[in-house]
Every structure is written in structure tokens, then in C-alpha cells.
Amino acid sequence: MWNQLSVPSGNLYAWDSKSTYIHDPSYFKSMTMSPLGPHGVKDAYCLLNFGDSITTDHISPAGSIHKDNPAARYLMERGVDRRDVNSYGSRHGNEEVMARSTVANIRIVNKLLGGEVGPKTIHISIGEKLSVFDASMRYKSEGHDTIILAGTEYGSGSSRDWAAKGPKLLDESSDSQEF
């Protein structure tokens, strides 16, 4: 049966633009052979303020996509039934889902929220509590840089490529900088 599958010819993968599981990642479209390098950050807002030991599990969770997560909203807006939203692992090939899931662990503690547990932050200039992705997008639309404050062992834990890519996607989304 495997050998009888229809396979498109050509040197490049023919991306299915309707798939919610995998699609052509945008970060390849702007990639150059020479990285752009760092740029200055001025008048930045703090997107997240963490303590020590923020692991890759906090940055890129591996469990079920929570129904209130921006990733779930994104999928349901594209016709995916709530029961089929599935897990971060199954949607791993969709950067749009994974960017919306960056720092989405339901047990994360952001000091900007005074010890409240959950994948939220405060949009400082308006005082509104939002998901990390939504706040990042709002800062970007307003033309603001953002920073993430984190202590020792930030990003430690089991290897997850989205734990590295996720903050970068937020960087591209809001010009965030990691220090």
C-alpha cells in the first residue's frame, strides 16, 4: 500500500497550503546565508519576567493544546473541530501553531502577574492580561520592542527544537530580544 501512494515529482516538497499539521515555514523565506546579527533595543517593554530554571517544557510544552491557547483558537478558526485540536507534538510541523504555543505551559509563573500561574503576561502600557503570543502581537502592532527576563538555567531540559525556535518566532513577531 505504501508503494502505491501517489507521489508528486520534483526537487521540492509540494506544500499543502490547507494542512493544519505541516506547512512551509516562513522563517526559511527570509533566511540568508549571513545572519543579520543583533540590533539595538530601545524603550522595550518586558514581555515576561521569570525566575530560575525555566525549562524547555515551559517554553515548548509537549502535552495537549489547551482550549484557551491561541494555538487552539488558530486551529478552530481554520475549521478544526475542538476534539481534533490534538497535542503540541502532533502539530509540531506547523510554525503558526507552535509560535502561538511558545511559553504556553499551564504551570509557568510570570513575575509580572504577581505569582499567578499560567501562560499569560500583562501588556504593561494598557494593563491588560493576555496570552504571551497575543501580547507579543499587540506590542508589535504598536511598534514596540520587548524583552524576556530569565534567570539561571533558562531553556534547560530535554531537547525541544521549538523551545529554541519559539522565542525566535516571537522575536520576529515583536522584535523581542533574549538576554
Q: What's the confidence (pLDDT) of residue 1?
A: 93
Q: Does any domain span residue 69?
A: yes
Mean per-residue pLDDT, 147-169: 75
pLDDT at 161: 67
The three grid cell numbers given for residue 51, joined into one nine-digit string: 525566575
Domain count across the chain: 1
pLDDT in tens, 113-126: 998 999 999 999 89
Q: Which three cell numbers stand for residue 63?
A: 502535552
| pTM for the whole structure | 0.80
For residue 168, the model assigns a pLDDT of 61
Q: What is the pLDDT of residue 160?
A: 65
Cα distances from 75 to residues 92, 97, 162, 177, in angstroms, run 13, 8, 18, 28
Q: Are 143 and 113 in contact (CB under 8 A)?
A: no
Question: What CATH code is carried by the domain that includes residue 64?
Answer: 3.20.19.10
Query: Span 64-69, mean pLDDT?
Result: 89
Residue 11 falls inside a structural domain: no
Percent over 90 (pLDDT), the chain: 35
What domain range is 168 assigned to?
42-178
